[in-house]
Every structure is written in structure tokens, then in C-alpha cells.
Amino acid sequence: QLAGLAIIAFGLWLRFGGVMADFASDKKSPEYFFMGLYVLVGAGAVMSTVGFFGCCGAARESQCLLGTFFACLLVIFAAEITAGVFAFIGKKVAIQEAQKIYEDTYDDYMKNPGGKVNGTIYRYHLALQCCGKDTIEQQVGLPCPENIQMPKASNCLVEIQNVIDAYLHLVGIVGVAIAGTTVSKSMFSL
């Protein structure tokens, strides 16, 4: 039950807090990444519910409830492994999608520097601490944060890749830890 609540909290933090939250309000947001987070939150809710039924089965010493708890944990474990495999396989797609969104926003800004996209590109630059997509010469006229360091400043596409790699790596570590907890709890239920 606690592991399920931890997964819900972690998924909601990634969705509404941290670096990625700034991009959730834009029309062009990385839907692939956010869809995975919704699945993560849903899995946490299911795990919490199953944990509650496991507690009831243990309290009442019901073999039927404990057997159902074990079966549900086995299904959740299989789903966690499947989600982890798809996350690592789909990592490249998520990075490409986020980079394409940035490039489209960058191109829109270059066509109309005073338009609505000004806030969007600034949020990217502020969250990622970067400015532009290729060379320092392309930064002229871009809304860049004042306190960024120059080596990082020249390529937001690399920073997008680094951020998504880091977050997916973190999701993978949490997933393996939760999968280990799931296996140990299913053994205790037997």
C-alpha cells in the first residue's frame, strides 16, 4: 500500500513539479512522456488498492483474499516489467518528440519574435538552463535567462536529451525498487 502511494506521489511530482511541469501547460507538450506518467499514477492507485485488500486478507487470515492478493501482485509485477521495457525502448522516441516540440517552438519564435510563443520558449530556456539550438550566434534575439552558464547555453536539444535521460533513469530505478518490493510482498502472502 505504501509502495503504491509512493508511486502515485512520484508520478504526480514528475507531472506537476520539477522541470517537466513547465511544459505541461503548453499546447505542444511531450504527450508520450506524460502518458507514461499517467500510467505510473494509475499503477500506483491499483497497487494501493491491492495492498489494502492484502491487509484485510492478512487481518482476517483469509486464504482466498491472500491468494487473490498474490495473483494481483503477480499481474502488477508483469505490468511493471512490461512498462519498464517499453520505457527504455521508447526513450529515444520521447527524446525526439520533445526535441521536435522545441524546434517547432524555436522556428515559430524566429518567424514572429513578439508572438505568443515568446513565453513558451523562455520557459524552455529557464527550465533547461540553455538558450538556442545550435550555435551561440543563433542566441541573438532569443529570450534567454540571465544566469545561465555559457557552455550549456548553446544547445537546448542536448539539454532536452539529458533531462529526459535523467528522468527516465530515475523512473527505471524506482520501478526496479518497486518491482522488488512487489515480489517480496507476494512471497510473504504465500
Q: Are 156 and 128 in contact (CB under 8 A)?
A: yes
Selection from 35-39, 93-97, 115-119, 136-140 with the highest mean pLDDT: 93-97
Per-residue model confidence (pLDDT) at position 18: 62
> What is the enclosing helix (H) or strand (E) of 61?
none
Mean pLDDT of 39-45: 82
Q: Are 141 and 75 in contact (CB under 8 A)?
A: no
Per-residue pLDDT band for 24 (boundaries 50, 70, 90) equals low
More confident residue, 74 or 144: 74
- List strand residue ranges (DSSP E) for 19-123, in order: none
Whole-number Å distance between alpha carbons of 111 and 95? 24
The lowest-confidence range among 5-19, 103-117, 138-152 is 138-152
Structural domains in the chain, sorted by start? 86-179 (1.10.1450)
Q: Give pLDDT tens digits for 147-190.
A: 666 555 568 888 888 888 887 777 777 777 777 777 777 777 77
Per-residue model confidence (pLDDT) at position 157: 86
Mean pLDDT of 64-91: 78
Q: Does the pLDDT value for residue 29 go beyond 80?
A: no
Per-residue model confidence (pLDDT) at position 9: 87
Closest C-alpha to 152, from 169, 138, 167, 133: 133
Q: Does the pLDDT value for residue 48 go beyond 70?
A: yes
Selection from 49-58, 75-84, 137-146 with the highest mean pLDDT: 49-58
Whole-number Å distance between alpha carbons of 75 and 128? 37
Mean pLDDT of 82-87: 72
